[in-house]
Structure 1
Amino acid sequence: MPIEIKVPTIGESITEGRISRWLKADGSAVKRDEPVCELETDKATAEVPAPAAGVLKHIAKEGDTVAIGAVIGSVDENAKATAAAPADPAPKVAAPAAAAKEPAAREAMLSPAAKRAAEEEKIDPNSISGSGRGGRVIKEDVYAAKAAPAASPAPTPATPPPVSARTGERETREKMTGIRQRIAQRLVESQQTTATLTTFNEVDMSAIMALREKFKDKFKEKHGVGLGFMSFFVKASIEALKAFPLANSRIDGGDIVKQHFYDIGVAVSTERGLMVPIVRDADRLSFANIEKKIVELAVKARDAKIGIGDLQGGTFTITNGGVFGSLLSTPILNPPQTAILGMHTIQKRPVAVNDQVVIRPMMYLALSYDHRLIDGREAVQFLVRIKDCVESPERMLLEI
């Protein structure tokens, strides 16, 4: 008797998901624990494994919304593998013969979302130029390729191209993913349920930049990871949270819940939207381990491998709009957290130091906070504490 494939329990608050795509074709041979489909929820994308080795049968279709525990397929252990269909679905678009000779690395440069979009739009992914990191093809590249006009011979002088020729659709409609819908819902809830204010300051990055320049090679050689700015700001935030514990607390009805641990969320931009994976017990980690954890979580988030456990909880969040060039912004709270730190781009600006005008690498910092719990004085002092730690990194080593 075939073994049922059921939608697994993914998280406490998740009741359903959407089958974004089948990774194995209907009738193909699968191995035990081999991923057979991607399940997209309102928080993350998870892979559903085969419960046994055998021949796969699809019951639910791609795009179907299914409840937790629902049967979406089955595996027949008694079926012969020789009677099964090929392990991978047949391509929907015939690829040019030359494309078949391309190295397997080309497939690896295609993100899961881009691959799905290319299949839906019947576009050969090998014909698309990638704009993502390292030439990676992302979903937006697929839609841009679809909207681009088809190549045609140059018109003769006697028949000039019309001035108002249409080069593509004037608009397209695309269903919001579950993750994007959840992000939208959370942002509106944050604005409606908190009394959010933002305070600003600026920080001189000279000390950190000099420290990184001096030790970055030895740091990477010893720890196998680069020394970035984020680990300094995580450490500085922890010092500020210890000095002002209300920023590490949450409101629960009429109670204030003070949290004596430091699970720091680090916002990561992905094709599916902004995600905030959590660096657990960050106060117990070294600079190197913080950097390693951030890289690990960022890669999982961008490759759609992030788990619900990586995203749940968190006592404080850091977001860095500076990587996109943002000079100043007002971050939105991530309830039930009561504070969030916004980092921004580094600019060389003239500042007064010891009554002399000098050029220094400066960064604006923003702290958004819930005024129901945190007063303006504490918020300003919190941000000053971070400024002091960043401008004098030795403070974090000496805990002063």
Structure 2
Amino acid sequence: MNWRAVLEGTYREALAAVSPARLLAPHLTGPPPDLVVAFGKAALPMLRAALEAYPGVPGLAVPPRDAADLSAPPRAEVYPASHPVPGADSVRAARAVLARVAALPAGSRLLVLVSGGGSALLAAPWGVTLAQKQALTRELLAVGADITQVNTVRKHLSRVKGGRLAAATRAELRALLISDVIGDDPAVIASGPTVPDPTTFADALAVLDRCGLVAPAARAHLEAGARGEVPETPKPGELPHAQAQVIGSGRVLLEAARDALARRGVAARLLSATQGGDVRDLAAWHAAELRRQWPHRTAPLVLLSGGEATVTLRGDGVGGRNQEFALWLLRDLGAAGIYGLSAGSDGRDGNSAAAGAFLTPDSLARARRLGLDPDTFLARNDSGTFFARLGDALVTGPTGPNLGDLRLLVLSPPSPL
């Protein structure tokens, strides 16, 4: 069996099965809204699907600037913005969205379509300058803060996040969300602009303390909020006119991958759709799981897992959590290699042009022949360069929605482990 082709085909079929149009279709019923607003990596596909269901309704989309297709649907405005660090275009987009939703009268209907990446794409700094917020976002990512921690801080430095978008409108707001976070909490997805926020200014300060970050301007604003001098984000029960529903998640993606494998006659086992933590620890756990299950196999089995790991930056290389996971796993397994693929569902892995990377049973042997030492590349967070030189990077371009990562690891007897 051509396992590399099977893994790439499974990845692409799973993404097609969780396209925004398919996820949205069951929910685009009832009276048409008066306005549709979409933001996130899947903003334009989601907006197009909604406006096809509701012809003549005006819309506004905030997609990533590097989206494959930035053309505007009829009666829609498009504000491309920066990701993963917000830019001036993100501020312009947030102002446009806030102005449009604030102008809606009471009794009108607002449909908001949210997907991963929306937190950076929709930025309205509060208490800090854009440059200070950009620097703080980079610092949080560099020390390995997870998405919940990052968003706890960002929500309290924003006029749009943490339920403040919902608070800005008198319309009846309905939000449909595609989740890119572990646990699928609407308050975490895109920093929860349409839902009440259970976190506080004190929680945001605690994140800065745990991460060892000074950030004087941000800290001054957060401390003022903790003293009650700055209004808190809306809390549970304070947004009765707004409702939110998660319509897609990492588990849906993994189930689609399992179905795609079944159509090929390949058995699959879902390990977990909610795995996070340090990427090195995650790779070690998967290596142990492979060794545990392999002796019992008499036929091929693909192990599936998802979620989003974190990477602690030690160098200035090219790569992301999926390629770094694959490289740590290659190092942990050593000469006992496997076929595998670890890739982001949005088609982008960190600061590289790849979605992720393949592993093959001879990956380590081929790397040694090329003089590529895994430890050297891991030390400078340069997994993207490693797999590009090896010819094992998966490059797809931006795919749209982000439902976390997809890891497919093949147990194929006889066991080398």
Q: In proportion to residue count, which structure has more strand?
A: 1
TM-score, normalised on structure 1?
0.30
TM-score, normalised on structure 2?
0.29
Larger radius of gyration: 1
